[in-house]
Amino acid sequence: MRVLLKFTIDCDPDTAWHAVHSPKAVSQLYAPLLQMRAVQATGFPEAWAPGDEVPVQLAAFGCIPVGRQLIHVSERVVEEPDGQVRIFRDSGIPLTGPLSGLVVWDHQMAISPAPGQPHRTLWRDRLTFDGPTAPLLWPVLWASWQARGLRMRSLARAWSTDPDLAPSNL
């Protein structure tokens, strides 16, 4: 099953690329409905990096446990006729909770300059998932991804001015 999003956000592609690597920015995308916490006592890395495998605890409204997820990071660059596309991939897996009935989790975010607007970002988001509970979870994940997309569009402009997300700090 799949959930696909495609939209333009109000920040340049370098800022979007740095934000997708930031646990802080990723956490903001789901707040306040869903909170993401580090499982390891050392907390989150400053930035996600290829090869990272980071377990996270998810909680609804910050207090109702909804399970653990393993985030596994990889990335690649694709040359397309309109320019370079950077792809961030989380191919981890739900470990516990309602999503643990999924045996496939492949979340890819493609970042490139918006056509004709190099200071804006074309964001393409694809979540592919499968497993015994996938048909039941599809409406929930679809709605969650729509909310995530709306939240991203509202936060993107602020990413450009957040010193924690500045390209030199990640």
What domains are defined for the chain? 2-164 (3.30.530.20)
- pLDDT given at position 170: 46
Read off the pLDDT of residues 89-124 as tens digits, 9 standing for 90 and up: 999 999 999 999 999 999 999 999 999 998 999 999
Read off the pLDDT of residues 70-87 as tens digits, 9 standing for 90 and up: 999 999 999 988 789 999
Beta strands in the chain (DSSP E): 2-9, 34-38, 53-60, 64-80, 83-90, 93-94, 104-114, 117-130
Helix pair angle (134-159, 13-20), 10° resolution: 130
* Contact (CB, 8 A) for 1 and 134: yes
Can you give the pTM of this predicted structure? Answer: 0.92
- Where residue 18 falls among pLDDT bands split at 50, 70, 90? very high
